[in-house]
A = this chain, B = another copy of it.
């Protein structure tokens, strides 16, 4: 095992030399073993073993052109929602013997662009991305250059791009309806910037539902924009809500991490949930039901979302398909109180 470290990685021609065959034959052993006679094959394999030869992926890809890797860009790897989606992607890709390169854009369009470029340079088969911008022109361009592109967690605004999404308007509307039924007439919404489509959609869904229920959104809805869609954002946003003159009786959060921060802040401020402030989350992550006050949340089919996205990416017909799943409101004590 502790042979002296070779200065240079063994190449296929080193193997060929050692096995006394041509490089073409070594390549055949690697890729079409049946085209090679058993004795030669044996000899080549022995040489490969001897030199600890590992084929150079770049060279292979350069020549062969194809690669069984896909890329995914999510907004934040440390958000369980996205990692559950990633899990769905991985599971589907593995069936096809593909591998996944995962990256997070941090909601930063430049980071997104950088990873897209990296992926393209490395010739991935395709890319699944939760865009950090409303605009997807750059993704259409990418597709124009031959990459598979699947929009993740966001319906495609154009009919040239596949997408796998959950109906965010419906999810937000369901939450709004629930709150209004409970008697809330003034609702805070801790939301991210509308440049992120999910945020814009959830805002619209909330708005529409309120109108439908006969409320004036301008009065009933206070939307607070938070800089980061995590617990810290939830904390800052909640502090703002608590400082409002005409304090809302319910807070809806753009995701469960944000809700976590909200609950923490409310507890620190001594505001009881839900009697002092009802709270609704979004995503229904694993811990939502186990919190001090179990969290009412909008459940999304995360694993399926990823699975289907990978499915589309691998589709041999390269069809453009836009899939929309329906979310489901899971009611718990953060809105209904004990019982």
Contact = CB atoms under 8 A, between A and B. Distances in A.
Interface of A: 1-3, 5-6, 9, 52, 54-62, 69, 77-78, 80, 83-84, 86-87, 90, 99-104, 114-115, 117-118, 120-123, 137, 140-141, 144-146, 231, 257, 260, 263-264, 286-287, 289-294
A145 B52 CA distance: 9
A22 to B, nearest CB: 21
Contacts of A55: 121
A61 to B, nearest CB: 4
B144 A118 contact: no
B291 A291 contact: yes
A286 B5 CA distance: 43
Contacts of A104: 87, 90
Given A54-B117, A78-B80, A83-B83, A290 B291 contact: yes
17 contacts: A1-B141, A9-B145, A52-B141, A54-B121, A56-B62, A57-B58, A60-B121, A78-B84, A87-B104, A90-B104, A99-B103, A99-B115, A99-B118, A260-B286, A264-B289, A290-B292, A291-B292
Q: How many copies does the complex hold?
A: 2
A137 B52 CA distance: 14
A102 B103 contact: yes
B122 A5 contact: no
A52 B120 CA distance: 12
Residue from A83, A86, A104, A123 with most neighbouring chain B CB atoms (10 Å): A83
A141 B9 CA distance: 12
Nearest to A62: B58
A122 B58 contact: yes
